[in-house]
Chain A
Amino acid sequence: MAWMGSGHWSRDAMTSQLGVEANTSYSAIDAAWPGTLPKLNKSCVDLAVRTALACGANVQSFSAFDRKHYFYADLPAGYQITQKYAPLSLGGEVRISGSFGEKTIRLQQIQLEQENLKAIDLNRAGSALMELVSYPDMRSPEEAAAYVKTLQTLLRTVGSSDANMEQGSFRCDVNVSVNRPGDPFGTRCEIKNLNSVGFLITALNAEIYRHIELLDQGNQVIQETRGFDENRMITYKLRSKEDAPDYRYMPDSNLPPLILTQAYLQSIKAFLPEHPDHLRKRLVEQYGFNQQDVNVLLSIDAGRDVPFDGETGQSAVSFFEETVKGRNPKTVFNWIVNELVAQLVLHKRTFGQSPLSQAQLGDLIDLVETRKISIFINVEDCIKGTAAKDILRHILRTGAIEDIATLQANLGLMTIDVADVRMFCETAIGDFPDVAERVRQGNKKVLMKLVGAAMKLSNGRADANLVKTCLEDILIHRTI
């Protein structure tokens, strides 16, 4: 199930943000205050329909909402609004690949649900949730993990969720059954609420071996619902089939049925972001990337945070594609992955939280490529663009929105061509040959006289350290 980024079930409810202090941002609706009524957020429907279409599912022109009743601390109204009898979409599929080869996982249905509270934090209540139910098509924990990862990428690509498991935006309930080759499926057990791919694999393995051990000892597997203990790495019984609550499903009388016209579906289709499978193929063909690069680019953080209600927004891919226009793909890729993302990770920020604009990055890359900016120690460092990196870090730290030229001036980083600096240095050497000779013989103290002369020639535009280094390179290291 995925928590949809457009956020709220109800338009009137307050915007819910992760990381907000418990019980500080809830509305009367979320607390199920008597007299309040639910409201379906249209953009939630848009995003769920997008997801369904991206999976090739059959979006239903008529779907309706039902109440699922049970008493639990995370459920202020005593029921959850879901789509039991007439879900949003039926069918569809997700293609996965991995060491097991390629495989298609069929979907049963996609349904809209109202999110319950996370523990007893009302901030989370009333958010919109989308539940994707698959058929039992996965044969190993690896396939299940690949399915989850593929779904995450898909949800991020179509912009329906950040699919972040750690923040609880994406959770899985998995069913496990074990059988001998040739036998029909064994009795299944459901493990609820797994919240990371790592735990998913561990929990599945633990459960599979529990079943195998039971069967090897001649015992039966009892159908039940289980939880996963992250510390002990084992699953434990939550309730047996006999204890299964009677949810007393009932149509919700407040939310009218959801009628989706063909025209509406067409309008969603028209703005459907590129399917990840297609996107991968295109990135390889268009930019000459290998699969590794594509994986890196697609996995960058939460790709799309979705505050934009379905705007394709700034995913790493779209950020890349905007920046790469007229530039070298590999260079832009390196800047995004090795500089931008590395810095963001260092500051524990997501890609979506990056203040760096595509225009800023483009200008930075251009300055370095045309060798107009650097506090270079030598020519090699000049190409690495140390000064440009300083500006990038400055932007990330301060969120500066000025263009690069302004920032450069503010930071005292001069725009000067490397060749110009060298020319000033050589002119200074020519003007003071005796001083140059003394430097060559090891008298570094008089070097500053040459530095001063070169600085004067540049009208103060060149960085003093840079000039000094350049002179040293020419006279002492003789590297230039």
Chain B
Amino acid sequence: MWIKNAQDPGYDATVVNLLLENGAQILGKTNCDEFGMGSLSIHSFFKPVINPFTPANVPPAKKSEPRSAGGSSGGSAAIATHKLCFAALATDTGGSTRLPAAYCGVAGLKPSYGLISRWGVIAFADSLDTVGIIASKVENIRRVYVILIPVESDVVAQYDERDPTSVPVDIRNAAHDACEHFPVLEDINDLGKLRIGIPQEYFPAELGDTVLKPFRRVLQALEQRGASLIPVSLPSTKYALSAYYVLASAEASSNMARYDGVRYGMQYRPPYDADLSKTSDVYAHTRSFYFGKEVKKRILLGTYALTAESVHNVSVMEHIPNQPIFRAFDNYYLKAQELRKLIRQDFNNVFRIPNVLQSSNTSKTTTTQGVDILLHPTTIRTAPLLSEISDKGLDTYVQDVLTVPASLAGIPAISIPSIADDGWPVGTSIVGQWGSDEKVLKVAELMEKLMHETDSKTLT
């Protein structure tokens, strides 16, 4: 609702500029969860996004009941489904590009953190936010990707000095060089050199047969063409969802602070008997009225995660370092940061390519032990009916359980669609080492072809 009355900020996002410069046309803006907070595109001032996917071989009666398009970038996935656009931009903080892509039966890429500029992207959680690309075909994603992130190392890569988290050119080139150890995949029928890791922690109890069956078919097809399937363990995965919600909410509570109704967006006029003795009292009216329910929930959660529990222990003069005080900040935020490191380390342990962002790992030569990519289902289920969604409990948060680890680690992940037995789409995620986005896209293109074959086999 903040955006409803938004003024023109007077500048374009870097991604928009790059696309326009390269001849793209911007068709419009799409619906999404407010500030990207949500997994089902139901938290929008403009009503939920309805999943436009039409299953084949499903009785017409069942089709009519609306399903979620997934979120938060549900609108972007929805318009890509019926090819209303060549590709759609999205954001991905914990799965917001991959999840709706999976539910709508399209492909969705979350690139490595730091490759695409966030200048002009409204921040939800700065350390996790990435610009994603959604399209009906991986090829389309690649065409947008090469505009936003040129791959040849001799081309000036799209480092953006306006984004302090934009990775400098030398590190981009280092990642490019590290990828030379990635197996060459030319022939779809000869994947003998490709080592695919299947992380055992990505099959939680909530994951149903609907998802497992098509995933197994994908694995079979890959194995038949010579790819090695290697079971791997990412032991810290079980903490990922909790760590993610603490960190993302903490950052969100900070980023939402600027929406006070003074400089942009909507302003709520307090009743005239209201106590306005403090600045925050004035802001509270606008913030209470115009923020959506989910956003307020996360602001509260994040605010608590950053709070010093016992105010009496905090010195008024806040400059004294190393004060031994016990705070929610230590118990939640710092713990979550530590977990994030473990999760990142888990990934570095299994990949064959070193992570060029970690200086200690740069000397590490490519091992024969590691895997080239990881493969796992994108979601625990197919798109839920809008009528069965309850915002009580943790149901909506569990949607993200398979997508948040890659976000926490900042590594590239793409979801490509296949069709479950009930005719609705599910996604398979291909996850690679930081900076191997190009290779992840390559594998995705091969698998897209394979899945066309397997899906058409099962449907006939």
Contact = CB atoms under 8 A, between A and B. Distances in A.
Given A69-B306, A73-B279, A78-B260, A33 B9 contact: yes
Contacts of A416: none
B311 interface: yes
Interface residues of A, number: 46
Contact of A76 (B165, B254, B258, B333): B258
Given A12-B162, A32-B263, A71 B319 contact: no
B118 interface: yes
A247 interface: yes
A299 B104 CA distance: 71
Contacts, number: 116
Given A28-B9, A246-B311, A254-B164, A190 B254 contact: no
Contacts of A348: none
A36 B165 CA distance: 12
Contacts of A79: 254, 257
B306 A249 contact: yes
A60 to B, nearest CB: 12
B257 A224 contact: no
Contact of A246 (B11, B163, B262, B308): B308
Secondary structure type dominating chain B contacts: loop
A248 B311 CA distance: 11
Interface stretch (A37-45, A138-146, A461-469): A37-45
Contact of B316 (A11, A72, A85, A224): A224
A300 B162 CA distance: 39
A84 interface: yes
B164 A77 contact: no
B316 A250 contact: no
Contact of A244 (B11, B162, B316): B316
Interface in B301-334: 303, 306-308, 311-312, 314, 316-319, 321, 329, 333
Interface in B291-309: 303, 306-308
A223 interface: yes
A253 interface: yes
A101 interface: no
B251 A71 contact: no
A102 interface: no
Contacts of A33: 9, 263-264
Interface string B238-264: 000000000000110110111110111
B316 A71 contact: no
A256 B316 contact: no
A37 B129 CA distance: 13
A109 interface: yes
Nearest to A36: B119
B121 interface: yes
Nearest to A131: B319
A250 B9 contact: no
B9 A32 contact: no
Interface string A90-118: 00000000000000000011000000000
A414 interface: no
A242 interface: yes
Contacts of A28: 9-11
B318 A84 contact: yes
A253 B126 contact: yes
A184 interface: no
Interface in A235-249: 241-242, 244, 246-249
Nearest to B6: A34
A111 to B, nearest CB: 8
B236 interface: no
Contacts of B258: 32, 34, 76-78
Contacts of A244: 311, 314, 316
B280 interface: yes
Given A37-B163, A190-B317, A223-B316, A76 B279 contact: no
Contacts of B262: 73, 76
A279 interface: no
A253 B278 CA distance: 29
Interface string A113-157: 000000000000000000001000000000000000000000000
A255 B164 contact: yes
A85 B330 CA distance: 13
A35 B123 contact: yes
B146 interface: no
B286 to A, nearest CB: 11
Interface in B111-165: 118-123, 125-127, 161-165
A354 interface: no
Interface in B265-303: 278-280, 283, 303
Contacts of B280: 71-72
B227 to A, nearest CB: 37
A71 B261 CA distance: 12
B301 to A, nearest CB: 13
13 contacts: A34-B9, A34-B258, A35-B9, A35-B120, A35-B122, A38-B164, A77-B258, A108-B321, A109-B321, A244-B311, A248-B254, A252-B126, A253-B125
The 6 closest A-B pairs by CB, nearest first: A78-B257, A253-B127, A248-B306, A71-B280, A253-B126, A34-B122
Interface of B: 9-11, 13, 118-123, 125-127, 161-165, 250-251, 253-254, 256-260, 262-264, 278-280, 283, 303, 306-308, 311-312, 314, 316-319, 321, 329, 333
Given A34-B122, A248-B306, 18 more contacts: A33-B263, A35-B13, A35-B121, A37-B119, A71-B280, A78-B258, A79-B254, A190-B317, A223-B316, A224-B316, A244-B314, A248-B308, A250-B251, A250-B306, A253-B125, A253-B165, A253-B251, A255-B164
